[in-house]
């Protein structure tokens, strides 16, 4: 006999409000339904009523975890519409903030995954290490969450003392190498809870169109930083970690390895930081009529912005956002089929969902 188990919208296992309805036979899940929309704030419509400065502050609040990547992508699209190219120093600073954001997002995810595995100590450790990343971000931008770093044609704040940031980074990397990486890659607790759970095969991953670490954990090597470099990624050297198993453990490994790659990119970017201006000084932004799209690799996968403008207008005509969780969410259905009920919170968390991005 099959029965339904509703979970949410306000549930201790969920960070954000959404509703998951599972259809089970005994302990085994046969199907799942997802209800979203609790975070729908109508941001895309609101963006049409805001001018080119306000819209940046608004889009930053699409998501508090990956706030920088939203403004970065939006600014890139607006730069295409105003024909501005940010100076090289700005491009480097953009890479640095984007990679720090990836670091804190992956460590945050590791903490939440550890909590769902029942590994509370690891959760606390991850958050303690995350605070160190936040310190670096605070030293650069002055804020802990919404950094307000990007503007049309550059960035708002300079990194005046890269050497001191580099020192903080080294301490951070040591900490990661000492605790998070070995525990997640070798500990038996993590392995027994994650290996073979929530498998998404490469064929299925390609057909549902997953992006980011989800795709890389299923053997699809795709990374916009490599495939379509933006900002200063062309000048960075890094690997794109790929795993082929497609289970939760593979996602864990991909993210753990990405943390190391991010540190590598950060070290290069801070070391090579070119001198010069940090933004293009402009009296008045002259937007042209048209639509510009821009893509970037957020911690969770590809983000795309499509911005339309009419010449002479202060407000955008349309801002369309496509977020990575929106692409990854349908995969949950195939991942939970046949899984045990107790594993479902971990499986759905393994896509690193962000519903405030998805609903907007």
| Binds another protein (CB under 8 A): choice among 7, 23, 34, 46 | 46
Subset of residues 53 to 92 that bind another protein, contact rule: CB under 8 A: 54, 57-58, 61-65, 67
Q: Which one of residues 7, 21, 139, 146 is an interface residue with another protein (CB under 8 A)?
A: 146
Compare residues 25 and 49 and give the one whose CB is closer to another protein: 49
Alpha helices by DSSP H, the chain: 43-47, 54-60, 67-82, 88-117, 120-141, 162-175, 181-186, 188-194, 202-208, 212-217, 224-227, 248-272, 324-328, 331-336, 344-349, 355-359
Least distance to ligand SF4, CB of residue 177, Å: 32
Q: Which of 52, 79, 73, 97 is nearest to 280 (CA)?
A: 79
Question: Taking CB within 5 to 8 Å according to partner kind, which of another protein, ligand SF4, none is near residue 187?
Answer: none
Name the DSSP letter for residue 279: B
Contact 307, 299 (CB under 8 A): no
Q: How far is the CB of 64 from ligand SF4 (least distance, A)?
A: 5
Give how far Cα 109 sits from Cα of 11, 52, 323, Å.
18, 33, 17
DSSP state of 220: -
Q: Which residue's beta carbon is nearest to the bound ligand SF4? A: 61
Of 76 and 356, CB closest to ligand SF4: 356
Size of the site for another protein (CB under 8 A): 40
Q: How far is the CB of 180 from ligand SF4 (least distance, A)?
A: 26
Kindly state the smallest distance separating residue 64's Cβ from another protein, in Å.
3
Told to check if 49 binds another protein by CB under 8 A, we report: yes
- State the minimum distance, in angstroms, from the CB of residue 61 to ligand SF4: 4
Binding partner of residue 356 among ligand SF4, another protein, none, CB cut-off 5 to 8 Å per kind: another protein
Q: What share of the chain is helix, strand, coil (3-state, %, to 5)?
A: 50, 15, 35
For residues 67 and 262, which CB has a smaller minimum distance to another protein in the complex? Answer: 67
The alpha-carbon radius of gyration of the chain (Å, integer) is 20
Contacts to ligand SF4 from residues 34-73, by CB under 6 A: 61, 64
Q: Are 27 and 340 in contact (CB under 8 A)?
A: yes
**Interface residues toward ligand SF4, by CB under 6 A:** 61, 64, 145
């Amino acid at each position: 006999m099959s029965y339904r188990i509703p979970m949410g919208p306000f549930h201790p296992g969920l960070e954000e409000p959404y509703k998951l309805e599972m259809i089970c036979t005994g302990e085994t899940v046969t199907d799942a339904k997802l209800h979203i929309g609790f975070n729908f704030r109508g941001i895309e419509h609101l963006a049409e009523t805001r001018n080119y400065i306000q819209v940046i502050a608004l889009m930053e609040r699409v998501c508090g975890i990956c706030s920088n990547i939203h403004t970065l992508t939006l600014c890139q699209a607006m730069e295409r519409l105003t024909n501005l190219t940010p100076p090289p120093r700005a491009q480097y600073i953009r890479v640095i903030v984007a990679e720090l954001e990836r670091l804190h997002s992956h460590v945050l995810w590791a903490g939440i995954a550890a909590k769902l595995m029942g590994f509370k100590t690891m959760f606390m450790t991850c958050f303690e290490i995350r605070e160190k990343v936040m310190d670096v971000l605070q030293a650069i931008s002055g804020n802990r969450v919404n950094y307000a770093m990007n503007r049309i044609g550059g960035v708002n704040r300079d990194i005046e003392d890269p050497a001191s940031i580099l020192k903080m980074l080294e301490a951070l990397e040591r900490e990661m190498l000492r605790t998070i990486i070995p525990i997640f890659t070798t500990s038996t607790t993590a392995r027994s809870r994650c290996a073979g759970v929530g498998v998404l095969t490469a064929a299925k991953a390609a057909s549902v169109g997953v992006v980011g670490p989800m795709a890389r954990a299923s053997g699809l090597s795709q990374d916009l930083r490599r495939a379509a470099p933006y900002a200063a990624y062309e000048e960075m050297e890094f690997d794109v970690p790929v795993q082929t198993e497609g289970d939760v453990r593979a996602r864990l490994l991909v993210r753990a390895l990405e943390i190391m790659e991010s540190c590598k990119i950060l070290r290069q970017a801070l070391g090579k930081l070119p001198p010069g201006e940090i933004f293009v000084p402009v009296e008045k932004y002259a937007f042209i009529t048209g639509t510009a799209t821009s893509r970037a690799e957020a911690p969770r996968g590809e983000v795309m912005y499509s911005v339309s403008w009419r010449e002479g207008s202060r407000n955008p005509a349309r801002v369309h956002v496509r977020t990575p969780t929106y692409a990854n969410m349908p995969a949950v259905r195939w991942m939970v089929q046949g899984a045990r009920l107790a594993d479902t919170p971990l499986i759905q968390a393994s896509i690193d969902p962000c519903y405030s991005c998805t609903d907007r």
